[in-house]
Structure 1
Amino acid sequence: MRHTTPPSLEDILELAEQAFGAIPAVLRDMVRGTAIMVEDAPDDETLEGLGIENPWELTGLYRGVPLTQKSVLDVPQEPDTILLYREPILLEWIETGEELFGLVRNVLIHEIGHHFGLSDADIDRLESEE
């Protein structure tokens, strides 16, 4: 996808849906039924809750209860959601020159991996898989 203007929220969501199909199957299986949403930037409450001062540092966030902490006896909560933050992703895209599809794919892998307790080494390995 070639852009002459900054990609919109819808463009990033379309890329995310395509990238979701390109992440390792083991990760896709872990998050079946998880919603993917795109927002321009994280809100102040999210940043404060994570102890992040610079909003440009947060490209994505997995909101939900890890499977390891869920129980069949739990009262149903809101569905798990992967949030992608468009402006920080675009800033990283400009700064690194990385292909936007690859960047969005890596953010998805990173958020899913951290949510399920994978180490940075495990996530790096998964990011290099096709």
Structure 2
Amino acid sequence: MEQDLSLDRFERVALKTIAALPDPFRAPAREVLLRVANLPDRDLLADLEMDDPLELTGLYDGIPMTEKSVFDFGGPPDTVWIFREPILAEWRERGNVRLDDLIAHVVIHEYAHHFGWTDAEIAAVDPWWE
């Protein structure tokens, strides 16, 4: 049976991961726009000075909560991007992790940027980091 590798699956796993965040983080995480795409676009890669789109599995675009001020409201929404093709490439290369676990890991990592988490805080919700 062929495995579901669709964008919809990536979004479902990402939303499930967000719903499983600890209580103090769940509601603020839901305020971040979640975008799932096949690949980062050329302009984004150029802004990040990257050439290979398969090197970027996810991205947080915004101001971390620990750095926000009242003057930061009204701008573009904080956004977490999850990129399907780079995650699939890493999954195939590793060969020893479940796809859903890798997707969840990328989601946690990107939301960690939003929350300004330390590695210890990430490890509390993502065993990947232990």
TM-score bucket of the superposed structures, by smaller chain? 0.7 to 0.9
2:67 to 47, 55, 69: 69
Cα deviation, 1:35-62, whole Å, max 9, x if unaligned, reads: 2110110111111212222211110011
Aligned residues: 127
2:13 to 15, 27, 30: 15
What's the offset of the Cα at 1:83?
A: 0.6
CA RMSD of aligned residues (A): 2.4
What's the offset of the Cα at 1:23?
A: 3.6
Cα deviation, 1:51-81, whole Å, max 9, x if unaligned, reads: 2222111100111122233222445012211
> C-alpha distance in 1, partners of 2:48/2:69?
25
| Stretches of structure 1 lacking an aligned partner (at least 5 in a row) | none
| Stretches of structure 2 lacking an aligned partner (at least 5 in a row) | none
Equivalent residue letter for 1:79:
P
Question: Which has more helix, going by share of residues?
Answer: 2
> C-alpha distance in 2, partners of 1:5/1:94?
13
Q: TM-score, normalised by structure 2?
A: 0.80
SS at match of 2:77: coil
What's the offset of the Cα at 1:118?
A: 3.5
Equivalent residue letter for 1:107:
V
Structure number with greater CO (CA < 8 Å, separation at least 6) is 1
Which residue pairs with 1:92 in the alignment? 90
Contact (CA 8 Å) 2:66, 2:116: kept in 1 or not?
no
What's the offset of the Cα at 1:21?
A: 2.0
